[in-house]
Amino acid sequence: MFGSWELAGRGSANSGSLVFKFENRHRYGDVAVTDFGGEIGYAGLVSSVFSAQGWRTTHLYWEQNFAQGRGVAYAGWLDVTDYVDVYALASPWSGFSNLAFQTGSGTIGGLPDGSLGLAAGYFLNDNIYVAAGIADANADASDPLAGWDTLFGEGETFKSAEIGWTTGQKARFVNNAHITFWQIDERKKAGTPKGHGVAFSVSQIVGDHWFPFLRGGWSDGGGSLYEAALSAGLGYTQDPSRNLLGVGVNWSRPNEDTFGSGLDEQITVELFQKWQLTESIELTPSLQIIHNPAFNPNEDTIALLGLRARIAF
């Protein structure tokens, strides 16, 4: 259940809203989809959201527009992937499933959600924007109230800063080039080291139907999946409201601090086709091909078939 309730300045450019999202994530069978990677010896996440965490508060924050809509600020329980290294095909609900084609291409450590924090973005002019945020690195979306203790007690945070260019505010997720810097503190209880890194993204609508992109990142520590990664691909649609084809190829070097040394580099390919069957029902079959899975020396290539359904009402 998710929504936005506009409570201040309704209808104005400087409106304020309460944004919320409550979920129950559970598995079918013995293994959750987010754990499939480990089952096949893959250093990565074949899906970033289909877990077995149970009830959770992913979003519960105040959104405040300011400067006549040129800026926006958030305060409360945030999902950092909503504002860090965002582009049009990053949504795990309607775009790519594999984290290699989502935030940071797998090179950003932590990525907390349901995390107590602050974030803001502002357009310096019609084309250039800046954004920054700080959030609790030890967030547990299944226990949001614990964020008061972990943030103010342990004080271990995830921080990000981004500068980007776009053709306009309404096109900021499609016609976009940006660079993102991030840093995460050592998390003592989790046993992960401090780290930092940089990610980049370039994407552009071409000819109304094609959406090529080039993305990647580098990290030093921080518990990230990859030390370095590069993703390229494209989306294609004849009618954005009805269908979307996406294909991506990712190269990754597993993070030695996370997995240990001596692991081979991996190649990941994902292909998906989203169909809007009715106004409220969409269906997305997909294929992931993983070449040279880092923890499975017995297999050169592994294929995973997926089928994702989404019903909105």
The pLDDT assigned to 242 comes to 84
Span 75-83, average pLDDT: 96
The pLDDT assigned to 75 comes to 98
Is a pLDDT exceeding 90 seen at residue 236?
yes
The pLDDT assigned to 19 comes to 97
Contacts of 250 (CB under 8 A, 6+ apart): 98, 100, 101, 105, 106, 229, 230, 231, 266, 267, 268, 269, 270
Instruction: Judge contact between 140 and 149, C-beta under 8 A.
Output: no
Domains: count for the chain: 1
CA distance 64 to 19: 10
pTM of the model: 0.93
Chain length of the chain = 313
* 55: confidence class by pLDDT, cuts 50, 70, 90: very high
| CATH of residue 286 | 2.40.160.10
Domain span at residue 110 reads 2-311
Mean pLDDT for the chain overall: 95
In DSSP terms, 251 is beta-bridged to: 230, 267
Contacts of 12 (CB under 8 A, 6+ apart): none
CA distance 275 to 280: 11
* 187: confidence class by pLDDT, cuts 50, 70, 90: very high
Nearest CA among 159, 88, 90, 173 for reference residue 129: 173
